[in-house]
């Protein structure tokens, strides 16, 4: 179902999947055939994914945050992947736009609107007086993105754009977001954290309940007999700090000085 050559991924279009990127074809408590899992789906073709382009409109600012993903390889093995979300904002009337290359699905679009609501509330601005555009920078070959699992980094990027504050690029995160700002569980946390560490992360924020993770199945969000993520990454030779966060308010201090 997946062809991987470095960062080139081919995803089965009929199945939604993982926390920023993962393909899953079986139903579980965390991912079912209802097409509403806490995961993000990337569908790829031989085309080249779009990359963010600057907007020259007066008053436009932007913010960027890292998104984390999991790719399913052969022989029931997995690997992590890193992409970025860029959010542009300018004075407007409350529109939320999502770039169409790569194509984004309904879950991603709904998450973008939630991210705007949550970030605007923390920035104490009226989101109806601004417009927002979300652009996803993904590995070459990915042409479709869907799912809510990048909610936390999407909210951080939106807050960065509104406040005109640069994000600490050594901080990586994963987690869904709801309208109250609560960070929800996702799948594949170990592989995502490993990819973040390999990309230079110094701090990795994960959902509060997922500091103990599975290293065998990305489907398990609350595994029995899982391993401590901090200990496992240290054992694997990575110098990173893992922090479990309950909401976006706990995440903001790690991203902004």
In contact, 174 and 42? CB cutoff 8 Å: no
> Within 13 Å and on the Cβ side, how many CA atoms surround 222?
7
Residue 236 CB neighbours (<10 A): 14
How far apart are alpha carbons 87 and 98 in whole angstroms? Answer: 9
In contact, 75 and 40? CB cutoff 8 Å: no
End-to-end CA separation in angstroms for the chain: 43
Choose among 229, 192, 231: nearest CA to 209.
229
Residue 119 CB neighbours (<10 A): 29
Residue in the structure block whose two tokens are 């909401």: 247
How far apart are alpha carbons 246 and 257 in whole angstroms? Answer: 20
What is the DSSP annotation of 184-236? E--S-HHHHHHHHHHTT-SEEEEEGGGSEE-SS-TT-SS-TT-EEHHHHHHHT
> Catalytic site residue 192?
yes
**84, two tokens:** 């970025």
Name the 3-class secondary structure at 190: helix
Q: From the centroid of its chain, how far is CA 58?
A: 29
Residue of 83, 127, 137, 149 with catalytic role: 149
Residue of 10, 83, 192, 214 with catalytic role: 192
Catalogue the active-site residues: 149, 192
């Amino acid at each position: 179902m997946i062809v991987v050559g470095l960062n080139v991924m081919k995803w089965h279009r009929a199945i939604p999947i993982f926390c920023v990127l993962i393909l899953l074809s079986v139903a579980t408590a965390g991912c079912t055939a209802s097409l509403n899992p806490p995961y993000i789906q990337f569908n790829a073709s031989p085309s080249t994914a779009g990359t963010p382009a600057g907007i020259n409109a007066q008053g436009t600012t932007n913010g960027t945050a890292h998104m984390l993903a999991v790719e399913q390889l052969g022989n029931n093995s997995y690997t992590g992947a890193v992409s970025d979300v860029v959010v542009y904002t300018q004075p407007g009337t409350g529109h939320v736009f999502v770039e169409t290359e790569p194509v984004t699905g309904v879950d991603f679009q709904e998450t973008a609107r939630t991210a705007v609501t949550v970030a605007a509330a923390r920035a104490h601005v009226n989101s109806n007086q601004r417009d927002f555009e979300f652009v996803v920078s993904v590995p070459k070959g990915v042409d479709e993105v869907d799912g809510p699992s990048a909610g936390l980094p999407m909210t951080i990027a939106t807050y960065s754009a509104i406040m005109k504050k640069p994000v600490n690029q050594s901080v990586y995160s994963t987690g869904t977001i709801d309208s109250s700002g609560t960070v929800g569980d996702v799948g594949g946390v170990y592989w995502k954290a490993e990819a973040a560490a390999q990309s230079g992360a110094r701090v990795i924020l994960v959902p509060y309940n997922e500091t103990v993770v599975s290293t065998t199945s990305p489907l398990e969000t609350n595994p029995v007999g899982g391993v401590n993520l901090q200990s496992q990454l240290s054992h694997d030779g990575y110098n990173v700090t893992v922090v479990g966060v309950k909401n976006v308010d706990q995440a903001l201090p790690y991203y902004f000085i």
